[in-house]
Amino acid sequence: MIRKLIVGGLIAGCLMTAAPVLAQTAPRQPAAAAVSRPLVLAMRARMLRERVGLDETTAQRVEQVLARFDAEHATVRELVRVNVQRIRQLLRENSTDQAAYRQAVEGLRNAQRQQQALIDREFDELKTILVPSQQARLLMQLRRLNQAGWGGGGMGPGAGPGRGGGMGPGLGPCGGGNGPCGRGMGRGRAP
């Protein structure tokens, strides 16, 4: 249970730096991503100080760790996005090419494994900076962002407010994420 919270929280925290593109199939526009990055960084800095309650020095150290992993997260997110897009295209076309499905599914699963390993490395480094109570507050705040739809991608929650983006059964107008409309891989029904 705690591991799931940690993983979910770290995924939300790591992915909240991404532009909400995981639910989209259109290519990204660099200008839009560049505009949203400073906003996300400011939001993350404010959360660390106000919600998690870190002092300035500790918050800066945590931000440095998170920033060091941002490029790797972007690379892995792109792998996830490409493979999800490939699967969606195959499904849209009602393809019978099992080899293409196998390749796309394995690519997605490998990207998700890379994502999890990256999250584990990141949290191991954060554990050296934060005491357990700070870790818990950080995880709860990341979980809150996750539930609000700001985490996302892969098989988890949506990639922005009201966006799906997960690989769930598409249980609502927003897709299959755990955002306000979807339920991810769960069995629930959309409101």
Q: For 57-92, how does the pLDDT look when each residue is reduced to its tens digit (9 = 90+)?
A: 999 999 999 899 888 988 999 999 999 999 999 999
Q: Give the burial string for 160-177 (b: 16+ CB within 10 Å, else e).
A: bebbbbbbbbbbbebbbb
Average pLDDT over all residues of the chain? 73
Which residue blocks in 47-97 are alpha helix, DSSP H?
A: 56-92
Q: Quote the Cα angle for 12-89-101, to 5°.
A: 90
Q: What is the pLDDT of residue 99?
A: 96
Burial class of residue 187, CB neighbours in 10 A (0-12, 13-18, 19+)? exposed
- Give, in order, the Cα–Cα distances in Å from 84 to each of 25, 36, 44, 101, 171: 9, 23, 27, 11, 17
Each residue's pLDDT tens digit, 156-178: 444 444 444 444 444 444 444 44
154 pLDDT more than 70:
no
The residue that leads in pLDDT, 29 or 123, is 123
What is the C-alpha to C-alpha distance for residues 191 and 3, in angstroms, rounded to an integer? 28
pLDDT band, very low/low/confident/very high, at 40 (cuts 50, 70, 90) = confident
pLDDT band, very low/low/confident/very high, at 180 (cuts 50, 70, 90) = very low
Instruction: Give the torsion through C-alpha atoms of 108, 145, 36, 170, to 10 deg.
Output: 50
Q: What is the pLDDT of residue 119?
A: 87
What is the C-alpha to C-alpha distance for residues 137 and 41, in angstroms, rounded to an integer? 18
pTM above 0.75, yes or no: no
